[in-house]
């Protein structure tokens, strides 16, 4: 994932992401949550209201949202959200299968 692009996007949209972090990462302070912006963005993509998702889409470039999906950790997305975002972001053709959700592995 392009860390510089993520940092730039977070800096440019700090107020929005701070607000969303407080709403969707309720077990941490927004400042602590924003130490992991990928998780904040993924949490909104997974659980967000339509209004919050649309605000996120307006603020964050699609390539960064795609990168969040490509580098998602196990448990970040529900099956429905995983499928929705792959199609929404044009990551798979309509007739193609969506990749499997990330899974935890024990080593």
Instruction: With residue 29 as reference, give the H or E element that holds it.
Output: none
The C-alpha atoms of residue 23 and residue 29 are separated, in whole angstroms, by 10
Segments making up each domain of the chain, as ranges: 3-88
The pLDDT of 75-82, averaged and rounded, is 96
Could you tell me the pTM of the whole model? Answer: 0.89
DSSP 77: S
CB 42 within 8 A of CB 77: yes
Span 8-60, pLDDT tens digits: 887 888 999 999 999 999 999 999 999 999 999 999 999 999 999 999 999 99
Count helices and strands in the chain by DSSP H and E runs: 7, 0
């Amino acid at each position: 994932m392009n860390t510089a692009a993520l940092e730039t996007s977070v800096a440019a949209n700090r107020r929005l992401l701070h607000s969303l972090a407080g709403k969707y990462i309720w077990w941490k302070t927004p400042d602590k949550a924003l130490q992991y912006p990928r998780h904040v963005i993924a949490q909104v993509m997974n659980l967000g209201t339509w209004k919050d998702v649309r605000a996120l889409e307006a603020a964050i470039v699609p390539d960064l949202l795609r990168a969040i999906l490509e580098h998602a950790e196990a448990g970040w997305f529900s099956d429905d959200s995983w499928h929705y975002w792959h199609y929404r972001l044009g990551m798979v053709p309509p007739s193609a299968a969506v990749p499997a959700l990330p899974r935890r592995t024990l080593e």
